Amino acid sequence: MNDGEMKNSKDLDKSMGPTETTRLRPRLETFDDVLPYVGDNGRYQWLLLLALAPFGVIYAFLYFSQFFITITPKEYWCKIDELVEANFTEEERIRLSIPKAVEYPYYDRCHQKDLNFADILNSGKDLHSLEANRTVGCNRWEYNFTQVPYASVATELDWVCDREYLISTAQAIFFCGSILGGFIIGWIADHKGRIPALMVCNSLGLLGSVATASANSFWSFAFCRFLTGLAYDNCIDIPLIIVLEYMAVEKRTLVVNVAFGLYFAVASTVLPWMAYYIANWRYFTYVSALPLLSVFITPWILPESARWYVSNGKLDKVVEKLRKIARINRVNPDPRIYQEFTSNFETSSRKHDTATVFDLFKTPRLARNTVLLVFFWSLTVICFDGHVYSLKLIQSSVFVSFSLACFTELPAGLLLALLLDRWGRRLCGFLTLAMTCMFSIAELLLVSMPAKLAMSVMSRFCLNMAANIGLQYAAELLPTPVRSQGVSLIHIFGIVAHSITPYIVDTAAIWQGLPMLIISTASFMGAMLVLFLPETLGQSLPQTIKQGEEFGNDQSFWSLPQRKKSHFNGLAHYHSCER
Q: Which residues of 365-387 are buried (b: 16+ CB within 10 A; e: fewer)?
A: ebeebbbbbbbbbbbbbbbbbbb
In DSSP terms, 141 is beta-bridged to 78
Dump pLDDT digits (tens) for 414-467.
888 788 878 888 999 999 999 999 999 999 898 888 888 899 999 999 998 998
Dump pLDDT digits (tens) for 290-327.
999 999 999 999 999 887 888 787 888 888 888 999 99
Angle (nearest 5°) at CA 475 between 356 and 564: 115
In DSSP terms, 77 is beta-bridged to 142
What pLDDT is attached to residue 569? 37
What pLDDT is attached to residue 562? 56
- Which residues, 6+ apart, have CB-to-CB distance to 517 below 8 Å? 444
Q: What is the pLDDT along the chain (579 residues), one digit of tens a residue?
A: 444 434 433 443 443 333 333 333 456 767 878 888 898 888 999 999 999 999 999 999 999 999 999 999 989 999 988 888 888 888 888 888 888 888 888 899 999 988 888 887 777 676 666 677 788 988 899 999 988 999 999 999 999 998 999 999 999 999 999 888 888 888 898 888 999 999 999 999 999 999 999 999 999 999 999 999 999 888 988 898 898 888 887 777 677 666 777 898 899 999 999 999 999 999 999 999 999 999 999 999 999 988 788 878 788 888 888 899 999 999 888 888 888 877 776 655 444 455 777 888 888 889 999 999 999 999 999 999 999 988 887 777 889 999 988 988 888 888 887 888 788 889 999 999 999 999 999 998 988 888 888 999 999 999 989 988 887 788 788 887 888 778 878 878 888 898 999 999 888 888 888 999 999 999 999 999 999 888 888 777 787 788 778 777 777 666 666 554 433 333 333 233 333
Question: How far from each other are the two terminal CA atoms of the chain, in whole angstroms?
Answer: 6
What pLDDT is attached to residue 563? 52
- Which residues, 6+ apart, have CB-to-CB distance to 6 below 8 Å? none
What pLDDT is attached to residue 542? 82
Give the DSSP letter of residue 513. Answer: T
| Residue 235, burial from CB neighbour count under 10 angstroms (0-12, 13-18, 19+) | buried
What pLDDT is attached to residue 154? 95
For residues 401 and 90, give the distance between their C-alpha atoms in angstroms, rounded to a whole number.
27
For residues 102 and 90, give the distance between their C-alpha atoms in angstroms, rounded to a whole number.
19
What pLDDT is attached to residue 23? 37
Q: What are the backbone angles phi and psi of residue 124, rounded to the nearest 5°? A: 80, 10
Dump pLDDT digits (tens) for 44-76.
999 999 999 999 999 999 999 999 999 999 899
What pLDDT is attached to residue 382? 95
In DSSP terms, 76 is beta-bridged to 143
Are 578 and 336 a contacting pair, CB within 8 Å? yes
Angle of helix 281-288 relative to helix 261-278, nearest 10 degrees, comes to 150
Are 387 and 452 a contacting pair, CB within 8 Å? no
CA dihedral 194, 302, 544, 421 (to 10 degrees): -130
What pLDDT is attached to residue 18? 37
In DSSP terms, 107 is beta-bridged to 100
Q: In 158-193, which residue ranges form alpha helices assigned H by DSSP?
A: 165-191
| Residue 102, burial from CB neighbour count under 10 angstroms (0-12, 13-18, 19+) | exposed
For residues 468 and 421, give the distance between their C-alpha atoms in angstroms, rounded to a whole number.
13
What pLDDT is attached to residue 526? 95
Longest dimension (CA), the chain: 116
For residues 187 and 488, give the distance between their C-alpha atoms in angstroms, rounded to a whole number.
9
Q: In 90-164, which residue ranges form alpha helices assigned H by DSSP?
A: 90-97, 117-123, 153-156
Q: Which of 144, 85, 149, 143 is nearest to 118 (CA)?
A: 85
Q: What is the pTM of this model?
A: 0.80
